[in-house]
Amino acid sequence: MKISQLQPGYTVLEHKDSGDIVHYTVVSIRQVGKMFEVTFQSVLGLASAFYPANGFIHAAA
């Protein structure tokens, strides 16, 4: 899914090299110039990252 199409509540999965899977929930997304700031929540807490609008990420609604 394109980063620009993400919505709060979507789930993102990260597959670690150890075989573990971390589930992240999109809390918010906002456009900052040509980038998007996405805030995620997981068991590890809250974190934000910046992505280009045309970037892709594996997400599920």
pLDDT, tens only, 4-31: 899 999 999 888 899 998 899 999 999 9
Report how many domains make up the chain.
Answer: 1
Domain coverage including residue 26: 1-58
| 61 pLDDT more than 80 | no
Q: Using an 8 Å Cβ cutoff, are 21 and 43 in contact?
A: no
